[in-house]
Amino acid sequence: MNVCADCFNENEIRQFVLDSSKEKGFCDCSKQEASVVDISILSDFLIEFLNLFAFDNEGENLIEIVQKDWGFFKSNEYAEVILGEVINENDFAFSVSDKVSYIPEIKECIEVWLKLKTEVKESKRFFSDLGTFDWANYVRTNLKIKKNTVLYRARLIPEGISKLSCSEMGCPPKEKASAGRVNPMGIPYLYLCEKKETTYYEIRSVYLDRICVGKFSVERDLRIVDFSKSVDIFKDDYDILIEMVKRKILFKEISADLSKPLRRFDTEIEYVPTQLICEYCKINGADGVRFNSSLHKEGVNIVLFNEADATCKCVSDLNIENVEISIYP
């Protein structure tokens, strides 16, 4: 079976197919003329990857979980054709149309976070046992933000004030610091965004709001725990592969909770698990955390534990003149 680079979304796999292709031919998956390779050159990786799953009537469809968690393939149809070929040629306990779940070793990374969330919200708020799981092997700094990096923060302009100054764009004072996804009540952290546009959404600005956007400069090289960081798992070493998948799954679960906005009927107890894991990052040497914005597609948030690590250099003011609302069934 011939495949081409256009069958895949994952950049490492796409480049590997392009580098390995020696001739033009007909792609059995995309049904087009292209630089093709035989699927067998990807078999070792795909077999090891599929070994991360087990048949489970209570699980999810194999194609759906692969595409949702990894997005390797250009479409579900391509995933079904390619994985179906690999499964049919090898001895798996499931078919391409079966429901599966991750093997127990990987499910542990999901369950440990769910267990911790329940524990700190319902039974042991301040003395949770983090020691039962090797957190240090997974939750550690994995990104450096260099000195002079530009980040942004926005604030609504109160009535009767024309514009906010640079000194007013930082953290609130401790006595006014409400709880957030990262910071506990009374401990202010500096919430920033990589894109100016993301700040408009993060402060939930609405039509005709007047806002100020501060442009911040990072004062020193910072060590960050990046919960949004993609993981390249295109490896030929199963031991490395399984560890990278466990980290990816754990980070995905934590990142989803960090990104989740507080709804009007939620309470601040919902913040406690992510506050705890960010406190763990802080006491283990991280300067902050990075996670995806749930309010702005492709937006990214960075929260610094020390306000002095970034300085507001200038402030611009603007009016919100249009708001779009999307409704999903």
Q: What is the pLDDT of residues 259-311, one digit of tens each?
A: 887 666 667 788 899 999 999 999 999 999 999 987 787 899 999 999 999 99
pTM of the model: 0.82
pLDDT band of residue 233 (cuts 50, 70, 90) is: confident
With b for 16 or more beta-carbon neighbours within 10 A and e for fewer, the 256-279 pattern comes to ebbbeeeeeeeeeebbbbbbbbbe
Which pLDDT score is estimated for 168?
92
pLDDT band of residue 123 (cuts 50, 70, 90) is: confident
- In degrees, to the nearest 5, what angle opens at C-alpha 293 toward C-alphas 242 and 202? 160
Which pLDDT score is estimated for 229?
74
Q: Determine the Cα–Cα distance for residues 54 and 103; give it in Å rounded to an integer.
A: 6
Q: Determine the Cα–Cα distance for residues 66 and 134; give it in Å rounded to an integer.
A: 26
Measured in whole angstroms, the distance separating CA 94 from the mean position of its chain's CA atoms is 29
- Each domain of the chain, given as residue ranges in start order, spans 2-100, 137-319
CB 70 within 8 A of CB 11: no
The dihedral through the CA atoms of 221, 225, 229, 233 has a sign that is: positive
Question: In angstroms, what CA-CA distances link 276 with 2, 127, 254?
Answer: 49, 11, 11
- 283: which 2 tokens? 């006491």
Least confident range from 150-159, 203-212, 240-249, 318-327: namely 318-327
Q: Determine the Cα–Cα distance for residues 154 and 215; give it in Å rounded to an integer.
A: 9
Give the containing element (helix H, strand E) for 78: helix 76-88
The predicted model gives 190-219 an average pLDDT of 89
pLDDT in tens, 39-83: 999 998 999 999 999 999 999 999 999 999 888 999 999 999 999
Q: Which amino acid is at 72?
A: F
